[in-house]
């Protein structure tokens, strides 16, 4: 069993820490702590522990800069979104992207202009699928 698994979704606290790294680039524990929103401020040791967890999971890498580690994200924001959506689709929609989208449409969480954009994307995708040769499966 492998310890580093980029296919696991981020926990809420891991996500907040990753947002600081994605938005600000490489950072020390102190920089991450200062970049986190909310009150009360998380303890330095809590942030340090979470960064160590993210390092063990393969989500960040660290390098020694002077006397402190600097942390760099290894997982992009886009990959984290994809992983989380796959997890949501698997747990709530039986792995069906269509069911996820239908749920968003039915709950009226998509505005009419976004629905129109989605329709254009679907039509474009269907058109390009018809143009591709089918021998690649």
Instruction: Please check whether residues 82 and 108 belong to one and the same domain.
Output: no
pLDDT at 3 over 60: no
Top-confidence residue, 100 or 53: 53
Report how far residue 71's alpha carbon sits from residue 68's, in angstroms, rounded to the nearest whole number. Answer: 10
Q: What is the CATH number of the domain that holds 38?
A: 1.10.10.10
Q: Which of 55-59, 93-97, 102-106, 123-127 has the lowest mean pLDDT?
A: 102-106
Cα distance between the two ends of the chain: 30
Longest CA span, the chain: 58
Instruction: Please check whether residues 74 and 29 belong to one and the same domain.
Output: yes
Instruction: Please check whether residues 25 and 90 belong to one and the same domain.
Output: yes
* Total of domains in the chain: 2
pLDDT at 51 over 80: yes
What is the tens place of the pLDDT at every residue in 52-86?
999 999 999 999 999 999 999 999 999 999 999 99
pLDDT at position 6, please?
A: 44
In a domain, 111, yes or no: yes
Contact 8, 83 (CB under 8 A): yes
What is the tens place of the pLDDT at every residue in 116-136?
898 898 899 888 888 876 655
Stretch 37-41: mean pLDDT, rounded? 86
In a domain, 30, yes or no: yes
Domain ranges, residue 117: 97-132
Does the N-terminal peptide bond of residue 40 adopt cis geometry, omega within 30 degrees of 0? yes
pLDDT at position 26, please?
A: 97
What is the tens place of the pLDDT at every residue in 22-35?
999 999 999 999 99
- Using left for φ > 0, alpha for ψ between -120 and 50, and beta otherwise, residue 102 falls in alpha
Instruction: Please check whether residues 60 and 88 belong to one and the same domain.
Output: yes
> Nearest-CA neighbor of 72 among 41, 46, 44, 51?
51
In a domain, 137, yes or no: no
Instruction: Please check whether residues 90 and 105 belong to one and the same domain.
Output: no
Instruction: Please check whether residues 90 and 121 belong to one and the same domain.
Output: no
Which token pair is 87?
């997890």
In a domain, 90, yes or no: yes
Instruction: Please check whether residues 34 and 12 belong to one and the same domain.
Output: yes
Average pLDDT, the chain: 89
């Amino acid at each position: 069993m492998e310890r580093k698994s980029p296919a696991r979704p981020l926990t809420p606290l891991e996500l907040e820490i990753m947002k600081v790294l994605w938005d600000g680039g490489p950072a020390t524990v102190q920089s991450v702590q200062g970049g986190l929103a909310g009150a009360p401020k998380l303890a330095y040791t809590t942030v340090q522990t979470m960064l160590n967890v993210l390092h063990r999971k393969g989500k960040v890498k660290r390098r020694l800069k002077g006397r402190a580690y600097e942390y760099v994200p290894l997982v992009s924001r886009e990959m984290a979104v994809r992983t989380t959506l796959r997890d949501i689709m698997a747990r709530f929609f039986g792995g069906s992207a269509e069911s996820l989208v239908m749920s968003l449409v039915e709950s009226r969480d998509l505005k009419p202009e976004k629905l129109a954009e989605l329709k254009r994307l679907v039509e474009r995708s269907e058109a390009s699928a018809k143009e591709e040769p089918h021998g690649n499966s």
